Structures are given as structure tokens and as C-alpha cells.
């Protein structure tokens, strides 16, 4: 039996980008307001879950050709590299630094190395959640 899912698919195409932008906002706002890597990663994976609900596993794999185990590994490597980078400057493990940079388009921005650690957390959360959901949802 083929059913027609036009309304949910059209809604998903709009709502996916709203959730995606909200996830990016929560990730970058984590330093001064509530949020951070964990909540942002969970929101990103819930956006992908919404795509999985409206379409199917094969279509989403064609849309986002990501190997989520590799995403988890890259996130762990980024987090560990941020933590280990401090020992090359004769300071203790996990020491963070920040400075102000003049970025194009953004102007004066403070860049903190905790943000790179948070990027690692974000990628690990997205990878682990999507691996679990694809493993459970994709049985024959």
C-alpha cells in the first residue's frame, strides 16, 4: 500500500532548516547563555531524525552521505587534540586560552579554545545518537 505523505514531507523541508539553524545558534551561544555542544548536537540529530521520519533511511543516506561512526571518531580526535595542544606550551593539560581577532564579516570576535572542544562534543553527540537510531531503526 503506497500512502501519500505530501504534507509531512513539505513541512519537514521547511522545519529541518529552522531546527538546524537553532542548533547552530545554541552551539555558538553556549559560552554566555544556556546551551552548548551537547544540546546543540542533540538538536542536530533530532533534525536528522525528523528527516528520517518523513523520508526513509536510503533517501537520508543519499542526502547526507555521512558515516556517523567516523563523525564520532573525528569529534573525539578534535576534543583530544584541543586538550593535548596545551601541553606543547608548557602549561597543564586542558588549559584554555582566548584572544580577540578581527575576522572578516564578523568584526572583533573573541575566539576561545573551549569552542573547539565544544565542536568535538557536538560531533560526538551527533555521531553517537545517529548511530544508535540507525542501528535500531534499520533492521530488516
Partner 1 sequence: MITFLWVIVVLISAALLGFIYRLVKGPTTPDRVIALDAIGVGLISLIGLISILFDTPFFLEVILLLAVLSFIGTIAFSKFTEKGEIIQRDRNS
Tell me if 24 contacts partner 1 by CB under 8 A. Answer: no
Tell me if 34 contacts partner 1 by CB under 8 A. Answer: yes
Tell me if 116 contacts partner 1 by CB under 8 A. Answer: no
Comparing CA positions, the residue from 70, 17, 27, 75 lying closest to residue 48 is 17
Return the SS3 of 93: coil
Return the SS3 of 107: strand
CA distances from 76 to 29, 68, 117 (A): 22, 12, 9
Q: How far is the CB of 35 from partner 1 (least distance, A)?
A: 6
Q: Which is nearer to partner 1, 113 or 134 (CB)?
A: 134
Which residues of the chain form contacts with partner 1 (CB under 8 A)?
Answer: 3, 8, 15, 19, 22, 26, 29, 33-35, 39, 43, 46, 49-50, 52-59, 133, 137-138, 140
Amino acid at each position: 500500500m503506497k500512502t501519500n505523505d505530501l504534507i509531512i514531507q513539505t513541512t519537514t523541508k521547511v522545519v529541518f532548516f529552522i531546527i538546524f539553524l537553532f542548533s547552530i545558534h545554541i552551539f555558538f551561544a553556549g559560552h554566555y547563555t544556556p546551551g552548548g555542544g551537547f544540546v546543540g548536537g542533540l538538536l542536530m540529530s533530532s533534525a536528522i531524525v525528523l528527516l528520517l521520519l518523513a523520508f526513509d533511511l536510503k533517501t537520508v543516506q543519499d542526502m547526507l552521505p555521512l558515516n556517523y561512526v567516523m563523525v564520532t571518531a573525528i569529534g573525539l580526535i578534535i576534543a583530544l587534540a584541543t586538550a593535548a595542544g596545551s601541553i606543547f606550551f608548557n602549561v597543564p593539560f586542558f588549559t584554555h586560552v582566548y584572544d580577540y581577532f578581527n575576522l572578516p564579516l564578523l568584526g572583533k570576535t573573541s575566539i576561545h579554545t573551549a569552542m573547539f572542544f565544544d565542536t568535538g562534543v557536538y560531533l560526538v553527540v551527533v555521531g553517537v545518537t545517529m548511530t544508535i537510531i540507525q542501528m535500531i531503526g534499520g533492521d530488516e
